[in-house]
Amino acid sequence: MARSKAKRKAHVVEKEEKSDVDIKNVPPSRLSDEPPPKKVRWTNKQRVLIFASRGITYRDRHLMQNLQSLLPHSRKESKMEKKDSLFVINEICEMKNCNKSIYFENKKKEDLYMWVSNVPRGPSAKFLVQNVHTMEELKLTGNCLKGSRPLLSFDKNFDKVPHFSLLKELLVQVFGTPYHHPKSQPFTDHVFTFSILDNRIWFRNYQIMEEDGSLVEIGPRFVLNPIKIFEGSFGGPVLYSNPKYISPNVHRAMLKKMSSGRYKDRAEHKEFTRNRKPEKSYNLDPLDEIFTTIPPEEAKGIAKKTFFRRKKS
C-alpha cells in the first residue's frame, strides 16, 4: 500500500512538472507591428530579378515598380545599358542568386518589350507590351495586402495550343509566390488572371472581396503580344515565332501610308473638280453692254470724265 501511494504521488508530481514546462513553452503575446517569425519550411526558392534598360519612359518605370511590389520574391537591379548584350543578364542573375528574370526593354521611347526567362538554361520568351495602365494611373478601388500570395487563374485556351502551354508554365514559375517565402504573408486576398484574346495574353489583378467570389480590380493592366520563344535564356534556337505578329515600325509605316493615300485621293478630287468646271459659264455677247449706262454717282476712274455737270451759279 505504501509503495502504491508513493508511485501515485510521483506520477502526480511528473504531471505537474510537464504542465509547468508546457506553460513555459507557450510563446508570449505578439504585437501586430512586430515582424512575423521566420518560416523554416521554405523549399521552393524561386527568386525573380525585375529590372529594365536605360531609356524607358515614366509609364514603363511605374509598371516595373508595380510588379516589384506585387511579387514579394522579386529583387531589384539598376538599369542596364542598351549596348550590353542580353547574355549579361544571366551573369547578373547569378550574382543576385535569382533563377528567373523579367527584363523591360524600350525602343524609340515608344515600344516596350518584356523578356521573361528561366535562368540559366531557359526557355525564354519575348513579348511586346501594349495597352499599359499602371495602378497610379487607374486609381481603382481594389486593394490587397503587400506581400500576400496571389492565386493564378489561366484561361482554358492555354492548354489547347503547345506554345501557350509552355508560356503558362513559365508564367506560373515567375508570378507564383513560393509557399513560406520569408517576405510573403500567409494570406491570399488577390488573384492574377491571364486570358487569351486575339492571340494575346491579357493580364489583370483583382482583389477577392468575399468568400462568394466577388472581385474588385486593383491594377495594373497590360497586354502581352508574344513574339518569339527561345530554347535558351535570352537567346538560342527559336522554338516558336508568332506568324501574326506585326512590328510597331511596320504598323506605323502602314498608318502613314494610309494617311498619305487619303491625301492623294483628296488632291486628285480637287484636280478633277477644277478640270470639270468650264472656263466660261455662258456664251455672252459683248455688244449687249453698249446700252448699259452708269449713274454719275457710281462712276469711278475714267468713267467720271464722260459726265459733265453744270456748275451752280
Where are the chain's structural domains?
48-249
- CA-based nearest residue to 115, from 199, 237, 227, 238: 227
Per-residue model confidence as pLDDT tens digits over 145-181: 888 999 999 999 999 999 999 999 999 999 999 988 8
* Burial call 116-152: b when 16+ CB within 10 Å, e when fewer: bbbbbebbbbbbbbeebbbbeeeebebebeebbbbee
Supply the pLDDT for residue 69: 94
> To 10 degrees, the CA torsion angle through 133, 138, 136, 126?
-20
C-alpha angle 98/99/102, rounded to 5°?
Answer: 85
CA dist., res. 241 & res. 256, Å (int) = 26
Question: Is the peptide bond prior to 220 cis by the omega test (within 30 degrees of 0)?
Answer: yes
The 8-class DSSP code of residue 279 comes to S
Count of residues making up the chain: 313
Backbone angles phi, psi at 94, to 5 degrees: -65, -40
pTM given for the model: 0.71
Choosing among 3.40.50.2300, 3.30.70.980, 3.40.50.720, 3.40.50.10480, the CATH entry for 48-249 is 3.40.50.10480
Supply the pLDDT for residue 204: 95
Range name among 40-54, 147-161, 188-202, 216-230 with the lowest pLDDT average: 40-54
Assess contact for 100 and 119: CB atoms under 8 A: yes
CA dist., res. 222 & res. 102, Å (int) = 15
C-alpha angle 174/179/180, rounded to 5°?
Answer: 125
Range name among 74-78, 105-109, 232-236, 276-280 with the lowest pLDDT average: 276-280
Task: For residue 98, name the pLDDT band (cuts at 50, 70, 90).
Answer: very high
Q: What are the cell numbers at 205?
A: 489583378
CA dist., res. 309 & res. 122, Å (int) = 107
